[in-house]
Structure 1
Amino acid sequence: MAAQKKKRAAPVRKRRPLLRIGAGLLAAVVLTGGAIGGAGWWRYTAPGPLPVAAALDIPHGGYASTIAALQQGHALSANGLDGYVFRAAIALTRDEGQLHAAELMFPAHASMRDILSVLRHGKPVLHQLTVPEGLTASQIMVLVQAAPFMKGTVAALGEGEALPETYSYLRDSDRTALVTRMKQAMQRQVEAVWKGRDPSIGLTDPTQMVTLASMVEKETGLPEERPRIARVFLNRLSKGMKLQSDPTTVYALNGGAGPLGRPLVRSDLAFQSPYNTYVTVGLPPGPICSPGLAALQAVAHPASGDELYFVATGSGGSHFASSLDEHNRNVSAFRNRAQGRETAEPVYSP
């Protein structure tokens, strides 16, 4: 019986080393897994290589194209380990939302966690194009055509059809679509201003208002003068006088290509064109630029008064007058300040 007990106890003593080895292997696996997990977490939360905040264009496609774009933009290291960790992070955090393809802004030294947050929740980068008041249609078309990060060519644009303001757009936006937005914005503003106009101004339709506003826009850069200049033109229209606006002559000479590049001379004032208000009575056949909202409002709500003339002061403003004699004195004063040099500023005559 004792021998039998010894034979039964022997296998027990043989299994103990196996148990110790198994436990050791399990502990090693746990420790190794923990180490790998810890290293992965460190890589996931550690600052990334992006030196400064940057907008990166993330293309449509799978994870590979996203990772490639991030690596090319230096937001993600190009080593294989970071690519593996990033892929694993995408999979493990998939419940937080889908990754988006767009031009996105990534902060400097963004960690993988930061990058995934931007890819899932960041808003696309908006680019901006400012259209200043007083540009002609041809100038606006050049501006839109030169706008960065857009595609396509500029559609036809009529004079005075685009509203001057700042427009936001996404990368790869279509230029024709942007021009359409400019037209729609102008239509809305014109309709609103025309609806609220002072009915005593005597204009018969919104196009006349835009045309006169374009002249006011080009005549002065001083906001406080716009309603007063609008009143001068409206007074002259009501009396059947020629408007005699220099900007209309410039437009007649070069078709809205921009500044003439030289002062007007008296022979220019005789140039035969329906846009030259020195030779025609009434408004030009259409706008000579795109007026801003302030110029439209100035025509819709002009200043009061009986003034019929204005001339530049030589220092950015204008001298206004109700009579030709007073205006001629203002012109003489302007010429004296110009030290006797020939000036293109004419003496308006009724």
Structure 2
Amino acid sequence: MRKLLGLVVFALLAGLVAVWMLWWSAGPADKPQRVVVQQGATLGVVAGQLHKAGVIPGSRRTYLAMARLFGSCDPVQAGEFEVPRGMSGAAVLDLIQHGGPVQRLMTIPEGMPSIMVQERLAALPFASGEAALPAEGSVLPDSYGYARGEARSRILKRATEAMTRTLDELWEKRSPNTVVTSKAEAVTLASIVEKETGKPAERPTVAGVYSNRLRMGMKLDADPTVIYPITRGKPLGRRILRSELDADNGYNTYRRAGLPDGPIANPGKASIAAVLNPAPTKALYFVADGTGGHVFAETLAEQNANVAKWFALRRQRGEIK
């Protein structure tokens, strides 16, 4: 009797060891697999998904028994998970209980207008719902992670909250030399700086030029402000017409002195910081230098000479006649 009992115990222990080894051995998946766990799903439901995806050893019932015997009692997380090739059953359970779900990225470049932010949100794969058109200048350009099925409105909310936080932080560090008197003015001027130069090192100087003009009551004469009412910030794709330069509206800084009625894009952190801490320059003018940057001038005579050089360079390139 004792011998029979010993054999039974030995068989049970051997079976337990075999199951334990199966639990920790390499899984059957021969390539990475994506598994989506719905909110509120139980381990039993998820075990069925894992078995169907071919990423766990044994049957659904076998895996569930092993998970309850050897695994954690923590609940599974909702989200999309990538199970690597050959991941063990134990590691798969740990992934869906404690690992990070797959994150996708939405990138908003510096200077992107709100209408294009809305279009980019609408084009996001695997996001849900619709997002409203954000107020111009209310979104902080950055990369934002989102999970499968996440609402587009939530992604947009994170981007607008990021702008509010960033603006608050930069406003506290503003220089006494800044010309703007409110956060709204800071975003408006920063959006013009953002559109006028693609070189980060130039932003404080461009901000300094516009600050000087605002203090003197000079018109900003900023081409991007003329374009904004026509395209809502999208590229114009052609030269500005004389009629558009003469149009009298709240954005045309060739017709009116001071800031336009509002931002013309969503400026990045660096452009806002430049406006709040402009370079100490005496320059009042700038023009393209042919390298993606600008050459600055303190007098109109210097500016006219620089403009003549720029047009000569463009003729040499065959861009104009």
TM-score (norm 1): 0.83
Q: Does 1:65 align with 2:45?
A: yes
Give how far 1:87 is off: 1.7
Could you tell me whether the CA contact under 8 Å between 2:140 and 2:267 is conserved in 1? Answer: yes
1:166 alignment partner, one of 140, 143, 158: 143
Structure 1 partner of 2:258: 282
Structure 1 partner of 2:295: 319
- Single out whichever of 205-214 and 67-76 deviates more from structure 2: 67-76
Structure 1 partner of 2:16: 37
Could you tell me whether the CA contact under 8 Å between 2:43 and 2:75 is conserved in 1? Answer: no
- Separation of aligned partners in 2, 1:179 and 1:239: 38
Q: Does 1:134 align with 2:111?
A: yes
The one-letter code of the counterpart of 1:290 is N
Give how far 1:102 is off: 2.9
Structure 1 partner of 2:229: 252
Structure 1 partner of 2:60: 83
Could you tell me whether the CA contact under 8 Å between 1:155 and 1:175 is conserved in 2? Answer: no
Q: Does 1:118 align with 2:95?
A: yes
The one-letter code of the counterpart of 2:20 is W
Give how far 1:51 is off: 2.8
Give how far 1:247 is off: 1.0
Once the two structures are superposed, residues 103-149 of structure 1 have per-residue CA deviations (whole angstroms, 9 ceiling, x without a partner) of: 23433211112112223322333332221110001111111222233
Q: Kindly tell me: are residues 75 and 94 of structure 1, through their superposed partners in 2, closer, same or farther at Cα, counting changes over 3 Å?
A: closer
Give how far 1:178 is off: 2.0
Once the two structures are superposed, residues 182-237 of structure 1 have per-residue CA deviations (whole angstroms, 9 ceiling, x without a partner) of: 22211122222222212233322111111000000000111111111111111111
Could you tell me whether the CA contact under 8 Å between 2:113 and 2:232 is conserved in 1? Answer: no
Once the two structures are superposed, residues 285-315 of structure 1 have per-residue CA deviations (whole angstroms, 9 ceiling, x without a partner) of: 0000010110011111111122111111121
- Separation of aligned partners in 1, 2:283 and 2:258: 17
SS at match of 2:301: helix
> Structure 2: 5+ residue runs without aligned partners?
none
TM-score (norm 2): 0.90
Structure 2 partner of 1:56: 35
**Aligned-residue identity in percent:** 36
Once the two structures are superposed, residues 43-71 of structure 1 have per-residue CA deviations (whole angstroms, 9 ceiling, x without a partner) of: 22221122344442123333442123213
Q: Does 1:306 align with 2:282?
A: yes
Q: Does 1:144 align with 2:121?
A: yes
Q: Kindly tell me: are residues 282 and 342 of structure 1, through their superposed partners in 2, closer, same or farther at Cα, counting changes over 3 Å?
A: farther
- Single out whichever of 263-272 and 188-197 deviates more from structure 2: 263-272
Could you tell me whether the CA contact under 8 Å between 2:126 and 2:148 is conserved in 1? Answer: yes
Structure 2 partner of 1:14: none
- Separation of aligned partners in 1, 2:72 and 2:151: 34
Structure 2 partner of 1:93: 70
Structure 1 partner of 2:54: 74
Superposition map of 1:201-220 within 5 A: 201-220=178-197
Could you tell me whether the CA contact under 8 Å between 1:44 and 1:85 is conserved in 2? Answer: no
Give how far 1:29 is off: 4.1
Q: Does 1:103 align with 2:83?
A: no
SS at match of 2:295: strand
Could you tell me whether the CA contact under 8 Å between 1:43 and 1:85 is conserved in 2? Answer: no
Structure 1 partner of 2:165: 188
Superposition map of 1:213-232 within 5 A: 213-232=190-209
Could you tell me whether the CA contact under 8 Å between 2:180 and 2:276 is conserved in 1? Answer: no
Structure 2 partner of 1:13: none
Q: Kindly tell me: are residues 95 and 181 of structure 1, through their superposed partners in 2, closer, same or farther at Cα, counting changes over 3 Å?
A: closer
Q: Does 1:339 align with 2:318?
A: no
Give how far 1:35 is off: 5.0
- Separation of aligned partners in 2, 1:205 and 1:64: 56
Could you tell me whether the CA contact under 8 Å between 1:152 and 1:176 is conserved in 2? Answer: yes
The one-letter code of the counterpart of 1:321 is A
